[in-house]
Amino acid sequence: MSAFILSLSAASVNRRVGAYAPKRISDKVKSRLQILFGKDILEKNASAFSSGRFAEKLHFLRKEEYPMNSAFDTYFTGLKNKKIAVLGLGVSNRPLVRLLLEYGCDVVGCDRTPREKLDAEVLELEAMGCRLHVGDGYLDDVKADILFRTPGMHPNNPAIETLRSRGAEVTSEMEAFFEVCPCPIIGVTGSDGKTTTTTLISEMLKAEGKTVWLGGNIGTPLLPLTRQMKETDLAVVELSSFQLMDMTRSPQRAVVTNLAPNHLDIHKDMQEYIDAKKNIFLHQNAFGRTVLNADNSITAGFAPEVRGQLYTFSRRGRCAYGAWVDEAGRILLSQGKDDTYVMDASEIKIPGAINVENYLAAICAVWGDVPIDIIRVVARNFGGVEHRAELVRELDGVKWYNDSIGTSPTRTARGTLSLYDRKIILIAGGYDKKIPYDDLGPVIVGKVKTLVLMGATGPKIEAAVKAAPAYEEGSPKILHARSMEEAVEICRAEAQAGDIVSLSPASASFDLYANFAERGNHFKRLVNALK
Please report, for residues 160, 169, 242, 260, 262, the alpha-carbon distance to residue 272 in angstroms, rounded to integers and kept in the order given.
18, 21, 11, 12, 11
The C-alpha atoms of residue 48 and residue 51 are separated, in whole angstroms, by 5
Prior bond to 114 cis, omega within 30? no
Task: Work out the pLDDT band at 30, boundaries 50, 70, 90.
Answer: low
Helix, strand, or coil here: 475? strand
In the predicted structure, residue 480 carries a pLDDT above the cut 90? yes
How is 328-349 classified by DSSP, letter by letter?
TSEEEEEETTEEEEEEEGGG-S
Q: Which of 28, 29, 7, 27 is nearest to 18 (CA)?
A: 29
CB 212 within 8 A of CB 202: yes
pLDDT of res. 46: 54
3-state SS, 346-373, equals HHCCCCCHHHHHHHHHHHHHHCCCCCHH
pLDDT at 514 over 60: yes
Burial pattern 199-216, b for ≥16 Cβ within 10 A else e, equals: bbbbbbbbbbebebbbbb
Residue 50 has pLDDT above 60, yes or no: no
Report the C-alpha gap between 212 and 202 in whole angstroms.
6
DSSP 272-294: HHHHHHHHHHHT--TT-EEEEET
pLDDT at 498: 96
Four-CA torsion 13, 17, 23, 24, nearest 10 degrees: -120
Distance, CA of 430 to CA of 523 (rounded, Å): 14
Beta bridge partners of 402: 390, 503
Cα gap 151→173, rounded to integer Å: 9
Query: What letter does residue 271 receive in the DSSP assignment?
Result: H
How far is it, in rounded angstroms, from Cα 72 to Cα 469?
A: 58
Q: Does residue 58 surpass a pLDDT of 80?
A: no
What is the structure's pLDDT at 414?
86
CB 129 within 8 A of CB 98: no
Torsion, Cα of 271, 293, 359, 319 (10° steps): -170
Strand 448-453 relative to strand 185-189: parallel, antiparallel, unpaired?
A: unpaired
Torsion sign over Cα 95, 99, 104, 105: negative
Give the pLDDT confidence of 397-420 residue by residue, as tens digits: 999 999 998 999 988 998 899 889
pLDDT tens-digit readout, 183-194 = 999 999 999 889
Q: At 27, is the pLDDT very low, low, confident or very high (cuts 50, 70, 90)?
A: low
- For the cut 50, the answer to whether the pLDDT of residue 503 exceeds it is yes
Task: Give the pLDDT band of residue 267 (cuts 50, 70, 90).
Answer: confident
The C-alpha atoms of residue 276 and residue 36 are separated, in whole angstroms, by 31
CA 331 to chain centre: 27
C-alpha 150: how far from its chain's center?
Answer: 14
Hey, what's the torsion of the CAs at 484, 485, 489, 491, to 10 degrees?
A: 20
Lowest mean pLDDT among 6-10, 481-485, 491-495, 511-515: 6-10
pLDDT over 90, % of the chain: 67
Domains of the chain: 1-66 (no CATH), 69-176 (3.40.50.720), 181-381 (3.40.1190.10), 390-528 (3.90.190.20)
Alpha-carbon distances, residue 35 vs 98, 219, 304, 323, 524 (angstroms): 10, 14, 41, 38, 30
CB 428 within 8 A of CB 452: yes
Cα-atom radius of gyration of the chain, to the nearest Å? 25
Q: How far apart are CA 494 and CA 506, in angstroms?
A: 21
Answer yes or no: is pLDDT of 116 > 50: yes
Alpha-carbon span 28 to 20, nearest angstrom: 10
